[in-house]
Amino acid sequence: MAQKNWLLFTVALLAATPVSSENFEVISPRNVLGVVGLDTVLPCNVSSTKPLYDIEVQWKKITDGRIEDVYIWRDTVNKPGQKYVGRTELLKDGLATGNVSLTLKNVLPADEGMYSCIVNSKDWSADTTTMLSIAGTSEVFFEILGPRGQGIELACRSHGWFPKPTVEWVVQNNQMLSPDTEIHQDSKELFSVLSRVTITGQEVEEVTCQIQNNMAQAEKTTVRLSSAAFPHTSAWIHAFWILLTLTLLISAVSALLLFRAKQRTSKKKKVAEETFENQESEKMTSNADYDLLQARYDTINRELEFRRARSYMVPITLDVAWKHPELTLSPDKRTVHHEPSDQGSIIKCQLPIVVGREGFALGRHYWEVQVWDGLDWEVGVLTETVRDTLKGESWEELPKHGVWSLRREKGKFWPEEANNVMQQNTAPLAAVGLDLDLEQNTLSFYNAGVSGCILKVSIKPSMKLYPFLKPGLGKVGEKGKPLSINHNTGWDYPQEMQHDMVRRNLT
């Protein structure tokens, strides 16, 4: 098949171009390596003993047995191919010296293939070919998922690999582990990796997850584990058992008080001399005690549920390739704000949102978004299908299907059931916790400062779900309210956040 394609390519070039002159030669390297998401230069130089006048430069690519135009330059007019509009640029300053190299912007796996540089004049023609290979690597994110049996479960994730990578887990002395690894390919042919392994035994001090392919340098991340990480000494487990013990103790006390209350009520019925007022007073006291204990029981259960969700916290970064052009990201890709242009906002043609780099297809994942004093914002998840159509559609609102979110607009929360919950609670909302449970197919939103659940919705299984943020809009010349991904995993951070919000309100 490759020989047939090359023969077709050669015949087409011979038919389209005049005979070459020995005074001219077009030179390019045989192979060029491009990196996914970066600009790549396809070198091409004309070696000539005569001045170059009235030349035409053509760049072509052979794909699936056919030739497609990539770029044509003639008489100072450039014409990119249909699939390459906005992605190609000729080094025009180099034309006088014979440099007709082509810059291919933001390369993708689909750009891999054979390219031909053809230079024509009215008297001569010459061409050369270059094979463009594509490699993609990405940062590796490490997670401690929590206790599993007598050990702890670890995971590493990464998205944006090409070609298909391999995963290795290594402990000290280069001992290899046997992980459970899943690799998926998205619509852009990029590979995502999720690999999990369970470590048992305190003798393991250092664990490395290494992802690599045959085209790119390996990316790896290493974590050091102490005895505190294992179940029998884990700080989280200690806290869990303390809270669980308190819960059981309060339940037992509640049952005892309820039993005694029933005994008192029975005795009251038998003692006719006891006044009606005393009977009512004792009944109110018993009910009040029971209600108080029940409230404490509910509070501890709510705290346990929130702490359990927060133990699945994952690192989230925002993807510069999937954001509205008027949104600005911080250098660490965790904070976003709206910064309209001097001519005014043009957000009607495209949603002012930014999508996270990390997509999730299975498991449970938690992250927090600091909203602080933002009046209008939206946070949630969307499907890969919705994400891939964002740049090509003109929506004034997100679609109804494939999106699950919590938003605040003009002082009210949506969906309406979330607004009802927030109206009943006076606690300020400093950060929203999102708990995505793909085993139960649910997405829960928490007021992270008080460990309270705002909303829990059912989601439909999808190939992959991506976090997204929609910050408040700014006016011309002013920045909008920012949203920030919180990576603080401290046990007492929600309480610290609540105290900070109280101090801010007082001042």
Contact 199, 225 (CB under 8 A): yes
CATH fold group of domain 2-135: Immunoglobulin-like (2.60.40)
Question: What's the CATH number of domain 141-231, 2.60.40.10, 3.30.450.20, 2.40.30.10, 2.40.128.20?
Answer: 2.60.40.10
Q: What helix, strand, coil percent values describe the chain, rounded to 5?
A: 25, 40, 35
Contact 129, 56 (CB under 8 A): no
Contact 299, 246 (CB under 8 A): no
Contact 409, 430 (CB under 8 A): no
Structure tokens that stand for 55 in this block? 């030349």
397/249 Cα distance (integer angstroms): 50
- The structural domains of the chain, with segments of one domain joined by +, span 2-135, 141-231, 235-310, 318-506
Rg (CA), the chain: 31
Strands (E), 291-450: 318-323, 327-329, 335-338, 354-356, 364-370, 377-383, 403-409, 412-414, 431-437, 442-447
**pTM listed for this prediction:** 0.49
Q: Does the structural domain 318-506 have CATH classification 2.60.120.920? A: yes
pLDDT at 249: 63
pLDDT tens, the chain, 507 aa long: 444 444 444 444 444 444 444 567 899 999 999 999 899 999 999 887 666 777 889 999 987 778 899 999 887 788 899 889 889 988 766 677 788 999 999 899 999 999 999 998 887 888 999 999 999 888 888 777 777 777 788 888 888 899 999 999 988 777 888 899 999 888 889 998 999 998 876 556 788 899 998 887 777 777 666 554 455 444 555 555 555 556 656 655 665 666 566 566 556 555 555 555 555 555 555 566 666 766 666 777 778 788 888 888 888 999 988 888 888 999 989 999 888 776 554 555 567 899 998 888 888 899 999 997 667 899 999 998 888 887 665 566 788 889 999 999 888 999 999 999 998 877 788 899 999 998 899 999 999 988 889 999 999 877 789 999 999 887 766 778 899 998 776 655 665 555 554 444 434
Identical fold between 2-135 and 141-231: yes
pLDDT in tens, 203-223: 567 888 999 988 877 777 776
